[in-house]
Amino acid sequence: MGRQGESSPHGRAPASGSTAVRKPSAAVYRRRRLFLGGALLLIIALVSSFAVAGAFSGKSEQASSTATTASAEPTAAASASPSASEPAPTPTPSATPGCNQNLVTVSGSTDKAAYGPGENPMLTLKVTNGGTMPCEVNIGTSQMEFLVTSGADRIFSSRDCQAKSEDLVKVIAPGASETANFPWSRTRSVEGCQPIEAKPGGGGAYYIFTAKLGSKASPKAVFQLN
């Protein structure tokens, strides 16, 4: 039994009633430092990735809108200004809502007032825009008719034996005209283009040519066949 006041084998004797507190070992400190360091690196990595993602998102939107604007501008500029290597096209008048179709007139004429035996009259239809605005007019064969009469006798119509009819829409400028010529071979015709042997009489007889375009008809043009 040891004497009072003797030291314990490890040096100082523990105080009575107290509990011994052990400090963490060096390995525990290392593990704590590694854990804290890894958590800090993870936080930094997450913040950096959000920042990079936000930066790319903003740049891509800006590039998209810039590309759209850039692609639209050259197209508008090219359509507005002609190429320097090519001559500027001649402007074509365009029909406007202000066009007065009542001012579009039709006239008929012949190249001569009288024809000798064997001479064939040239019948001319003329369409004139007498208004101040360009007018769109259908001057196709679907609308034209060259009509020759003598009193109440219907002598000839270009529509009787017309093989096909077509539309031809044109814009006629103010004061401008369009003409169509028809050489008449001094023959008769009937609707349906049925064969007919009778021919117009000569001997100085007078005939009337009327040019028609749709619902419009020209004043009468009188000529003589000898």
pLDDT digits (tens, 9 = 90+) for 53-92: 443 333 333 333 333 323 333 322 222 233 334 455 555 5
User: What is the residue-averaged pLDDT of the chain?
Assistant: 74
Per-residue confidence (pLDDT) for residue 201, from 0 to 100: 80
E strand or H helix that includes residue 58: helix 26-80
User: pLDDT (tens digit, 9 = 90+) per residue, 6-55?
Assistant: 444 444 444 444 445 555 566 655 666 655 555 554 554 444 444 434 43
* CA–CA distance, 195 with 149 (Å, rounded to integer): 18
Evaluate whether 173 touches 133 at the Cβ level (below 8 Å): no
Per-residue confidence (pLDDT) for residue 203, from 0 to 100: 85
Q: Is the pLDDT of residue 219 over 80?
A: yes
Per-residue confidence (pLDDT) for residue 199, from 0 to 100: 85
In order of 41, 94, 137, 171, the CA distances from 105 in angstroms are 91, 19, 11, 14
Per-residue confidence (pLDDT) for residue 174, from 0 to 100: 97
The three-state secondary structure class of 183 is strand
Per-residue confidence (pLDDT) for residue 56, from 0 to 100: 36
Q: Is the pLDDT of residue 146 over 60?
A: yes
Q: Does residue 50 come out as left (phi exceeding 0), alpha (psi in the -120 to 50 range) or beta?
A: alpha
Per-residue confidence (pLDDT) for residue 28, from 0 to 100: 57
DSSP 84-123: TTSPPPPPPP---TT--GGGEEEEEEES-SEE-TTPPPEE
* Total Cβ atoms within 10 A of residue 214: 16
The stretch 132-147 carries a mean pLDDT of 97
User: pLDDT (tens digit, 9 = 90+) per residue, 166-199?
Assistant: 999 999 999 999 999 999 999 999 999 998 888 8
User: pLDDT (tens digit, 9 = 90+) per residue, 90-126?
Assistant: 555 565 667 999 999 999 999 999 999 989 999 999 9
pTM for this entry: 0.58
Per-residue confidence (pLDDT) for residue 22, from 0 to 100: 58
Quick one: which of 164, 93, 177 has its CA closest to 129?
177
Q: Which residues pair with 135 in a beta bridge?
A: 172
* CA–CA distance, 187 with 20 (Å, rounded to integer): 142
In order of 123, 155, 223, the CA distances from 108 in angstroms are 7, 17, 11
